[in-house]
A and B are shown apart, each in its own frame.
Chain A
Amino acid sequence: MDTTVNGTTAHLGPDPETTAAEFVRDGLGLTGTKTACNAGVCGSCTLLVDGTPAASCLLPATALEGRTVTTVEGLAARGPHPVQRAFAAHDAMQCGYCTPGFVVEAAAFVDRHRAAHGDTEPAREEIADAMAGHLCRCGAYPGIYAAIAAACAGKHDRDGDAAPPRAEAAEKAAGRARYTTDIRPEGCWEAVIVRSTRAHAVVAAVDAGGAPHVDLLGADRTVRYVGQPVLAVAAPTPAKARAAAAQVAVDYRDLPAALDPATAHRPDAPVVYPARAERRAAPAHAEGGVPPARWRGNVRGPFSLNWRGATAVDRIRKAARTGDPLLVTGVFSTSVQAHTPLEPHACVARWDDSGHLHIHASTQTVMALAAAAADRWGLPREHVHVTAEHVGGGFGAKAGLRVENVAAVELARITGAPVRLVFDRAAELTDAGHRPGARIEVGLLAGADGGLAALTMDAYSDGGASIGGTVAIMGRLVYGHAPRRLRDFDVVTHRPPGAPFRGPNGAQLLWALEQSVDEAAHRLGEDPIALRRRWDGNPKRRALYDWAAALPVWRERSTGAASGRFRRGVGVAAANWIYLLDSSTAVDLVVEDGAVVAETAVQDIGTGARSVVAEVVRGELGLPAGRVRVRAGSSDLAYAPSSNGSRTTASVGPAARDAAEKLREEARRRRAGGSGGLDAAALAALEGVRVRGGRRRDRRGYATPFPLPDGGALGRGFTGAVHVMEVEVDTLLGRVRPTRCWAGIAAGRMYADRPARNQCEGGVVQGIGYALYEQRRDDPHTGAVLTSDLEEYRIPGIGDTPEITVHFHEEGWDHVPGGGVGIGEVSTIGVAAAVGNAVYDATGWRPHDLPIRPDRLLEGIGAK
């Protein structure tokens, strides 16, 4: 049985279970094709079969017999397809994991469109229809729309003059970028994790049936959620590894489980962590340490941060007693949100003959992972080599030494072979962390003078078996110094633990707070932007309020509930975030073959870290794009921080600039190059020179005198965002359609403008997912996660993406070298509240529970 792949005949095996995706990826090594969902939903596996896009993850390989198959690699057989150029030019990607699938589908669409309509731009709706089977978790949809429209209009038939805004864009669009899931060394074994089928049990015995295995349970031999790793087995092929995993017998001694956060506080509820030592070892979903607090059964807390707390409580009680109309109270809830990066958690580990450990990992922390691995296996740090060349998204879930790393490394040690471990989507949606849910009780009192008189918030975080809710206390940092009492509680259950997720705790806080502030504005009869401008002392955000208030969509909005089936509404929400950095960051520059190569450990998870370095070096040295290369994503290179906490750019950018300055000095010393940039002659004179740049201190130092536990520092100043969202509500069928969004971001100077905008656009898309669709659901009786594929767990698609305008307010960061800081978190956390306020504006009904599903919306507006 034969098929033709990219013009070459290939032999098909007879196995009826092999999919077309497995055939091209594993059989032919064409790893441009990805498999993210394995369920026909995400489109990352799209191939052209006789010219028609088809999902290859559900297609039997045998169905390819006699057909002509084109993969993303084959599209560029005679130079890049116009769509590939367009994707690079419009930065239609972040992490790039979805990109090959989009590119293959878009190539077919563009060719079809041009054949039928000539070189014209299709309507947005047509593009959305054609791309309906593709998901991008990074939310790079605005760039994708632009790229496809431009390719249809014939604007990318030849290479452009300008280099693409993203350093690795061409590789990603061509399917050449290699991710950890694409790495399969010669003789590589496959590992599979066997997971608990019980919510709470003691494991009395495990029988791995002779397969090489590693135990993954803690000393107490207790499992505390369905899906918890029990052990991992390895075998020479994926099929054999799955078979070995199926053979493993686990003897569970079942214990009663607490599965419902609403009843877990009751005295008769089974306790998740009865002993002090267990409570101490409880996993945390917060970044950088968990503040101490008291436990009562499954409830931990309060952890409070007050400012004249008693006054706040007195004022709110009195207002409640007297029925003060300026008292806003409400109970808001948020759902459990899964990170679900399209590249799953993955690790390939290998020990070499000299005892060095080589780890390929889909990680956002190459350095921290290398350090933790050295520690765990007792190796000198320089004997551990962690590589993450391309990372298909993380959003907080891929930090540190994780179970997939431990299992792969141990199994590699036992088997003497390289071992590869890749999460399936069910594991990804169950046990890869999540943004915990929260129940937030708000009391917010506006004074007769129109000021904020008092604020109380009690937040109960639902992080499954993990702790670390700091939802309410983050309310200390916003809206001036009015009296406030802020208390956080964790309610633990026998459900999967959370992990930091892009703006940890901030998204939950703002869903409740920003809607409450909105309500206060309505009670006061005041414009919600004007009210925020008065209450919010932050000068950078004030500039954003002025920008937002002047937007035509805001000035021309009609207030008062609309009528008719489709109702339009506009809402606003503000966001505040801390500024982190890592002052140990370094960037090396070495002149090699007439080009400047920047070397830094930093992993690029789609945020554009490579592009930041490339842009800075190019700009500082006046070099053309082709003369700068970036080598990144390896723990063997100069120290760089983790890609979390929005700290990467603020750390790497200045270090790159410092390095460039040093290279320029070196050029001056050697009298190479003039006052302008470094020309070819100067580079020739500098050949072989190596310099190291560091992260200079901020003027006025940092808010934290000592490094944080993860090596970072808390810088001075807060970043800000103001989102204005327009929605259209279908009051008959219950759907909320975001139509347009304006995202104002105050985080100083942008190092790489287009990738930065892209990240802010993605922040809007993820916020819309949080607002409208995303919700992990579990079985109430067993605690098993039911939303364990991308069909049940709903992330936003291209058709759900509004037209987005990003505005940067770039002033106010002069104390930071480079003048700019990170945007990853502040750009997403307020979005859901902006949607909520827009729905209120459209319908007169205020959503309190996330997500705003059609059933909830219909019930809400029906009850009004």
Chain B
Amino acid sequence: MTTPPVDVPAAAAALRGGAAEARAGGTDVMARLREGLAAPPFTDLHRVIGLRGVQWLPDGSARIGAMTTVAEVAADERLRAAYPALAATAAAVATPQIRAVATVGGNLLQRNRCPYFRSAAFDCLQKGGDTCPSRTGDHLHGTVVDQGAACVAPHPSSLAMALLAYDAGVEVEGAAALPVDGLYDGSDSTRDHVLEPGRLVTGVALPAPTGGESAAYRRATSRSRGEWPLVEAVARVVRSGGAVTAAAVAAGAVARTPLRLTAVEEALIGATGPEDAAAAVAGVPDLCSPLPQTGYKAALLRDTVRDALERALA
């Protein structure tokens, strides 16, 4: 066993070539290890202090290190003030004991939660198989927006959705930074992110917050806590003189990637209060092409977004 790297160059070097899988909090890696979906060697990142914490740049923008925990994002006072919907999203992820160890980088790069993918009993497109057993089987929690993939597992990352709404960038050691949606390809049924194997994500960069902004995060679940969302959404609105001048709306658990809802954003321009939310989201179901068991998600997506918007506009 080699000693784990303690700085970024050593971590990047250890990962190079892609023989070892990075392990951050390990909450996804260890769960997959149990199902035979991950195997040593691992490169443990927990000692790379340089990947941890939040940096503030002179222009007011922030950079969150990849090894910063989800709990730290949820609790950081300055992040909560500048990017409230990101902090609220982080606070809703998983459970306190998971948030305490799960990291930002791991959250963005975690694998999907489809029970067919997770169970050793099934083959699937993500495991080298040639069909999606969930599409023809059970897919109650599957996708409702078609991005051209045969796989129907929605993207799991809540933080990716929130970061997408904040136009964040992802920093990769030794490569150009990319926008969050550059990390994913909704038409690819074989993987959940398209980061090249052997690459190290060092952090995410958030543009400086705009004045006059308000934002909200909502998730729909059956139980009150500790449960994956059926649908989740972030809404940001910038108002000047009482009317919305810019908006960003993103949704999760509905497609192979987190989604920006640009049509809703456009429809929001000029909106003044919560009563305008319903009209702005009216067209959302038209974006959906439900599977046999996910018809409910078309209306639920509309209404979760509406709920987030009503709060952001309140």
Interface residues of A (CB under 8 A from B): 14, 16-17, 19, 38-41, 43, 46, 49, 52-55, 57-60, 62-63, 65, 105, 128-130, 132-135, 197, 226, 732-735, 737, 772-773, 777-782, 784, 786-789, 791-792, 794, 796-800, 851, 853-855, 858-859, 862
Instruction: Name the CB-closest residue of A to B44.
Output: A62
Contact A226 B121 (CB under 8 A): yes
Most A CB within 10 A of own CB, among B116, B138, B222:
B222
B306 → A minimal CB distance (Å): 7
Contacts of B25 in A (CB 8 A): 58-59
User: B191 near A: Cβ within 8 Å?
Assistant: no
Expressed in whole angstroms, the Cα–Cα distance for A858 and B299 within the complex equals 9
Instruction: Name the CB-closest residue of B to A781.
Output: B137
Expressed in whole angstroms, the Cα–Cα distance for A38 and B307 within the complex equals 34
Most A CB within 10 A of own CB, among B40, B47, B71, B296:
B296
Contacts of B311 in A (CB 8 A): none
Expressed in whole angstroms, the Cα–Cα distance for A788 and B116 within the complex equals 11
Expressed in whole angstroms, the Cα–Cα distance for A737 and B297 within the complex equals 20
Task: Give the top 5 A-B pairs by smallest Cβ distance, nearest first.
Answer: A133-B95, A855-B296, A799-B224, A132-B225, A14-B1
With contacts A41-B95, A105-B96 taken as known, whether A737 is within 8 angstroms of B224 at the C-beta atoms is yes
Give residues 4-44 of B contacting A (CB, 8 Å).
4, 23, 25-27, 30-31, 33-34, 40-42, 44
Interchain Cβ contacts under 8 Å between A and B, 17 examples: A17-B40, A40-B27, A49-B100, A55-B98, A58-B98, A60-B44, A128-B225, A226-B121, A733-B220, A734-B296, A780-B137, A781-B137, A784-B121, A788-B115, A792-B115, A799-B223, A854-B221
Contact A39 B31 (CB under 8 A): yes
Expressed in whole angstroms, the Cα–Cα distance for A779 and B307 within the complex equals 33
Expressed in whole angstroms, the Cα–Cα distance for A773 and B223 within the complex equals 7
Expressed in whole angstroms, the Cα–Cα distance for A855 and B133 within the complex equals 22
Contacts of B71 in A (CB 8 A): 52
Question: Can you list, as one digit per residue, whether each of B240-284 has a CB less than 8 Å from chain A (1) or not (0)?
Answer: 000000000000000000000000000000000000000000000
Give residues 99-128 of B contacting A (CB, 8 Å).
100-101, 113, 115-116, 118-119, 121-122
Expressed in whole angstroms, the Cα–Cα distance for A544 and B42 within the complex equals 62
With contacts A16-B42, A58-B31 taken as known, whether A784 is within 8 angstroms of B119 at the C-beta atoms is yes
Tally of contact residues, B, Cβ under 8 A = 55
User: B217 near A: Cβ within 8 Å?
Assistant: no
Contacts of A782 in B (CB 8 A): 121-122
| Further 19 A-B residue pairs, CB within 8 A, beyond A129-B225, A854-B230 | A16-B40, A40-B98, A58-B31, A59-B30, A62-B4, A65-B47, A133-B94, A133-B98, A733-B303, A735-B221, A735-B224, A737-B224, A781-B137, A782-B122, A784-B119, A794-B227, A799-B223, A854-B222, A854-B296
Contact A799 B225 (CB under 8 A): yes
> Contacting B30 at CB < 8 Å: which of A60, A226, A855?
A60
User: B208 near A: Cβ within 8 Å?
Assistant: no
Instruction: Name the CB-closest residue of B to A47.
Output: B97
Contact B119 A732 (CB under 8 A): no
Question: Can you list, as one digit per residue, whether each of B55-72 has a CB less than 8 Å from chain A (1) or not (0)?
Answer: 000000000000000010
Instruction: Name the CB-closest residue of B to A859.
Output: B296
A129 → B minimal CB distance (Å): 7
Contacts of A862 in B (CB 8 A): 299
Contact A733 B300 (CB under 8 A): yes
Expressed in whole angstroms, the Cα–Cα distance for A777 and B25 within the complex equals 30
Expressed in whole angstroms, the Cα–Cα distance for A854 and B224 within the complex equals 12
User: B166 near A: Cβ within 8 Å?
Assistant: no
Contacts of B223 in A (CB 8 A): 772-773, 794, 796-797, 799-800
> Contacting A128 at CB < 8 Å: which of B33, B121, B224?
B224
Contact A40 B133 (CB under 8 A): no
B135 → A minimal CB distance (Å): 11
With contacts A58-B30, A800-B224 taken as known, whether A777 is within 8 angstroms of B140 at the C-beta atoms is yes
B295 → A minimal CB distance (Å): 8
Contacts of A853 in B (CB 8 A): 222
> Contacting B97 at CB < 8 Å: which of A46, A780, A791?
A46
Instruction: Name the CB-closest residue of B to A101.
Output: B97
Instruction: Name the CB-closest residue of B to A851.
Output: B222
Contact A786 B27 (CB under 8 A): no
Expressed in whole angstroms, the Cα–Cα distance for A134 and B226 within the complex equals 9
Instruction: Name the CB-closest residue of A to B136.
Output: A781
Contacts of B296 in A (CB 8 A): 734, 854-855, 858-859
Expressed in whole angstroms, the Cα–Cα distance for A134 and B222 within the complex equals 17
Expressed in whole angstroms, the Cα–Cα distance for A101 and B227 within the complex equals 18
Contact A54 B221 (CB under 8 A): no
Contact A854 B26 (CB under 8 A): no
A201 → B minimal CB distance (Å): 15
Contacts of A46 in B (CB 8 A): 97
With contacts A40-B98, A773-B222, A854-B222 taken as known, whether A19 is within 8 angstroms of B30 at the C-beta atoms is yes
Expressed in whole angstroms, the Cα–Cα distance for A104 and B79 within the complex equals 29
Contacts of B230 in A (CB 8 A): 854-855
Expressed in whole angstroms, the Cα–Cα distance for A14 and B119 within the complex equals 28
Most B CB within 10 A of own CB, among A53, A60, A128, A134:
A60
Expressed in whole angstroms, the Cα–Cα distance for A99 and B10 within the complex equals 42
A354 → B minimal CB distance (Å): 41
Contact B97 A732 (CB under 8 A): no
Contacts of A41 in B (CB 8 A): 95, 226
Contacts of B47 in A (CB 8 A): 65
A235 → B minimal CB distance (Å): 18
A227 → B minimal CB distance (Å): 9
Instruction: Name the CB-closest residue of A to B33.
Output: A17
Contact A797 B225 (CB under 8 A): yes
B34 → A minimal CB distance (Å): 7
User: B228 near A: Cβ within 8 Å?
Assistant: yes
Expressed in whole angstroms, the Cα–Cα distance for A797 and B303 within the complex equals 25
A195 → B minimal CB distance (Å): 10
Instruction: Name the CB-closest residue of B to A772.
Output: B222
> Contacting A133 at CB < 8 Å: which of B26, B41, B44, B226?
B226
Instruction: Name the CB-closest residue of B to A38.
Output: B34
Contact A53 B221 (CB under 8 A): no
Contacts of B33 in A (CB 8 A): 17
Contact A732 B222 (CB under 8 A): no
With contacts A38-B34, A133-B96, A732-B303 taken as known, whether A54 is within 8 angstroms of B224 at the C-beta atoms is no
Instruction: Name the CB-closest residue of A to B118.
Output: A789
> Contacting B100 at CB < 8 Å: which of A38, A52, A798, A855?
A52
Question: Can you list, as one digit per residue, whether each of B274-314 has a CB less than 8 Å from chain A (1) or not (0)?
Answer: 00000000000000000000001101100110110000000
A191 → B minimal CB distance (Å): 18
B122 → A minimal CB distance (Å): 7
Expressed in whole angstroms, the Cα–Cα distance for A62 and B25 within the complex equals 11
Expressed in whole angstroms, the Cα–Cα distance for A57 and B33 within the complex equals 12
Expressed in whole angstroms, the Cα–Cα distance for A798 and B118 within the complex equals 27
A263 → B minimal CB distance (Å): 16
Instruction: Name the CB-closest residue of B to A801.
Output: B224
Contacts of B222 in A (CB 8 A): 734-735, 772-773, 794, 851, 853-854
Contact A133 B300 (CB under 8 A): no
Contacts of B113 in A (CB 8 A): 791
Instruction: Name the CB-closest residue of B to A46.
Output: B97
Contact B97 A54 (CB under 8 A): yes
Contact A733 B94 (CB under 8 A): no
With contacts A853-B222, A854-B300, A862-B299 taken as known, whether A777 is within 8 angstroms of B95 at the C-beta atoms is no
Contacts of B116 in A (CB 8 A): 779, 786
Contact B115 A786 (CB under 8 A): yes
Contacts of A737 in B (CB 8 A): 224
> Contacting B101 at CB < 8 Å: which of A14, A17, A54, A797?
A54
Instruction: Name the CB-closest residue of A to B3.
Output: A1
Contact A130 B96 (CB under 8 A): yes
Expressed in whole angstroms, the Cα–Cα distance for A626 and B226 within the complex equals 41
A333 → B minimal CB distance (Å): 16
Most B CB within 10 A of own CB, among A130, A133, A780:
A133
Contacts of B218 in A (CB 8 A): 733
Instruction: Name the CB-closest residue of B to A736.
Output: B222
Expressed in whole angstroms, the Cα–Cα distance for A356 and B71 within the complex equals 53
Expressed in whole angstroms, the Cα–Cα distance for A38 and B30 within the complex equals 10
